Each structure stands twice: as C-alpha cells, then as structure tokens.
Structure 1
C-alpha cells in the first residue's frame, strides 16, 4: 500500500485573535494543516513568521517564506484587516494609506505569492469582505472603499483563475462578536463565521460560491424605519 495522502494545507492571515483565530481552529478540526501569517505571533499556535500588513512588499516576501517548503496550497483565507475610521474631511493620510495597504494591496500581493501553489492544488481562496463594501456609512470612507475594491478583486479572480482550477469566494459578513467581552445578541459569533468559511471551502469542485453575504440571525430595531428611511439615504 502507498503512503497516506498528506492533509490539505491552509494559510490563514490575521489568525491570532477573533474571527481569524476561530477560522484557524475550525480548519484544524476539519483536518487541515494550518500555517498562519500575522502581525504578532499566536499565543497558542506555531507561526514563526510575522509581518506588517501595511508593507505589501513585505507581505509577499513573508508569504513566500511561510510557503517555501509547501508542495501545494489547498486553501488561502485572507482575513487580516485594519478598521481605521474617519470622515472624508478628517481621515488622516496615514489612516487612508494604511487601509489601502492592509485591506487591498496586501491581499493582492498575498494572492500573487500563493497562486502557483494554489494552481497546483486546484485550491480555494476565501477573501474576507464586509457589508461595508456595499453598505457605506458616515465615517467609514477608508474601510468602505477598500472593502468595495476587494469585491472587485474577488470578481476578477473568479474570471481569471477558474481556468486554472482555482476558485474564489468573497465572504461579506455583517456584525461579528470579534472581541471576547462582546456578548451582543445582534452579532454573529466568530465560530459561526468560521463554520461558513469551512462550508465554502468544502463545496464540490464543480461549483463555486462567488459571494456569501452573511447577516446576524437576529436584528435589533433600527433607528430609522419604514417610509422615514427615504429621508436618510
């Protein structure tokens, strides 16, 4: 009998807390070998390479280092994010530039570095988007703009990479309980979001979930309802 097949390999960014940590744990439970790429090391996982996601060139080099001995990559989950807020009139150059670098340019550089191994495995890319990409809000210009642009990156990847067997899913969630002290009944748990990532990655190879729009199961009463909404667009 031949040697047993190696477990599938996943690379997850931003996996040292919150949603990313839950995704990492769920994928390990699913049987993946998980490698991480974070700003700071995980307290409970071996990930010796860290990187400043505000430096996209460094992200590409770090990804190559993390995957240097990998024969293939079955799943890439791009989760690292920055959420600097500010009105158009007030957002600082530093906050704007950081949002573009972390939320948009770094994911592209990461995908570019991983694509040869993803093609070899006919693997899957999951880009973590946000409702902010299609539902802009005051004070969120940098976050909303970069998440909207990431949606276009996902669409182009869908058109370009399926011919190579690589599928892309944009997961666009609403409010998540990303912090341990957040117990809101109107947000999703990080474990629930991780389950959806797992589900998206396990779909049959002749299908792809291009975008998953994920909302909390319960809805709080909005501040403006009914016909009055028309005055607040």
Structure 2
C-alpha cells in the first residue's frame, strides 16, 4: 500500500456542528481527513455513510472508510445522539439508540481502527460530555452513556499505551452547535476543535487522559450559595 504524504485522521459525525469544525481544523493542520457520518457532508462527497444505531454496520463502514490506508494517525469519535427523557418516561427505542450510538458504536469503531492506529502509534479522541459526570433530570440515556464512555477511555488508556496508542477523553460543557446559536455562555465549535488539535499535537511521551472543557463565561445560576444544598 502506498504511504501517505501526511497524517491521516478519521472523524465520525463530521457533517455539522462540532464535528464539522474538527474536520476543518484538522485539514488546516495538514491532515488528510476521512469522514464517517450518518448522512453525506454538504461540502464534499462521503464514499461511506453509517447507521450509528447499528454498531456492527458502523464497524463495517469504518473498515470501508479506511480501506487502502497504510496507517491511521488520529481517530476522533464525535457522532452522538441526544435523546432526552426521564427514567419514568424514556422509551425503549430512545434508550437503545443512545446506548448504541453513544457507547457501543464508539467501541466497535475503535476496534475496527486499532490495527491501523497501532501501526502508526496513533491517537484516539473520544468526545465525552459534562453530562457524564454532572447528571441532570431528563438526561438518563445521555448521562449514563457518556459516563460509561469515560470508562471506555480509561480502559483504552491502560490497554493500548503498550502498543503506542494514546487516548484522550474530551468532556466539554455547553457548545454553540447550532448555526443560529449566539449565546455568550457557550463555547464555539471552532474553540472545541482547537482543543482537539492541541490534544492530538501533544508530545508522544505524554497523554492528556481527560480534558474537562468549560465555557469561558458563566451565566448567573438560578440557585447560588447555601441554597444549593436544597437542590442536590
């Protein structure tokens, strides 16, 4: 197989929002970027799309997306579903989809990519969330799957460093993922992409196991001071 002129990245969920910004930043960094999305990107042709609710199909799609690649330098697992519902109300379909998209499919995609990542001593970035450590009402499926993803990242850190593969869990807070969101209390998708780029550029003898990323400005919370104890 021919070698690549520069590093190669695979990004899931890169057709909008944070994923699109990550793809753009990595291209600016000199990566060749291959995408794995549910639907094709508007600005280029995706040869492979995947139903992330079907983990085995997503794994096969990852193999196809990496076909012919001699190595993989960076894997960014960003695709997510954010279905919400209380414990009493969340439907079986919404729960199963969250477990598949947010937890099982990331594991399957990592498994598919590991041979090429080991060959290049590459880097995995798993996109977590504050929801993984800060649960909230109505967020059962999202909070639970993001908390479990943190454990996936920790196990990968223990198991794969012996093969030269590093893993970073990036856990951001509120992001302006929608094009019409101009909140001053959320992070821009470009800023989050910059942190992904920074994590991937760390020296090979170091690894950022987890990055907890918060907006630079904080709105006044509805409950402050001692009164918070009434709402735990």
TM-score, scaled to structure 1: 0.98
Partner of 1:213, secondary structure, is strand
Write out per-residue CA displacement over residues 142-168 of structure 1, whole angstroms, 9 at most, x where no aligned residue.
Answer: 000000000000000000000000000
Q: Residues of 1 paired with 2:138 and 2:207: CA distance?
A: 34
User: In 2, Cα distance between the equivalents of 1:47 and 1:161?
Assistant: 29
How many angstroms does 1:4 deviate by? 9.5
Give 2:76's aligned residue: 77
Q: Which whole-Å deviations, capped at 9, do the CAs of 1:118-150 have from their partners, x for residues lacking one?
A: 000000000000000000000000000000000
- Aligned residue in 1 for 2:97: 98
Secondary structure class of the residue paired with 2:180:
coil
Residue of structure 2 equivalent to 1:206: 205
Residues 185, 219 of structure 2: 8 Å contact kept = yes
Q: 1:58-77 maps to which residues of 2 (within 5 A)?
A: 58-77=57-76
Deviation of 1:45 after TM superposition, in Å, equals 2.2
Query: What whole-Å deviation, never above 9, does each CA across 1:183-228 have from its counterpart, x for those lacking one?
Result: 0000000000000000000000000000000000000000100000
C-alpha spacing 1:47/1:5, structure 2 compared with 1 (3 Å): closer
SS in 1 for 2:227: helix
1:110 equivalent to 2:117? Answer: no
Residue 161 of structure 2 is matched in structure 1 by 162
Unaligned segments of structure 1, at least 5 residues: none
2-side partners of 1:4 and 1:125: how far apart? 21
Could you list the structure 1 runs, at least 4 aligned residues long, displaced by more than 3 angstroms after superposition: none
Tell me the secondary structure at the aligned position of residue 60 of structure 2: helix
Which residue of structure 1 aligns with residue 21 of structure 2?
Answer: 22
Q: CA RMSD in A?
A: 1.1
Query: In the aligned structure 1, how far is the partner of 2:52 from the partner of 2:8?
Result: 22
Contact 2:4 2:70 in 1 (8 A): no
Aligned length: 231
Alpha-carbon offset, residue 6 of structure 1: 1.5
Q: State how far apart, in whole Å, the 2-side matches of 1:46 and 1:195 are.
A: 24
Alpha-carbon displacement from aligned partner over 1:53-110 (angstroms, at most 9, x marks no partner): 0000001100010111000000000000000000000000000000000000000000
TM-score normalized by the length of structure 2? 0.98
Uncovered stretches (5+) of structure 2, i.e. residues with no partner: none
Q: Which residue number in structure 2 is paired with residue 197 of structure 1?
A: 196
SS in 2 for 1:172: strand
SS in 2 for 1:46: coil
Q: CA deviation at 1:26?
A: 0.1
Say whether the 8 Å CA contact 2:3–2:70 is kept in structure 1.
no
For 1:145 and 1:135, locate their aligned partners in 2 and report how far apart those are by CA, in whole Å. 10
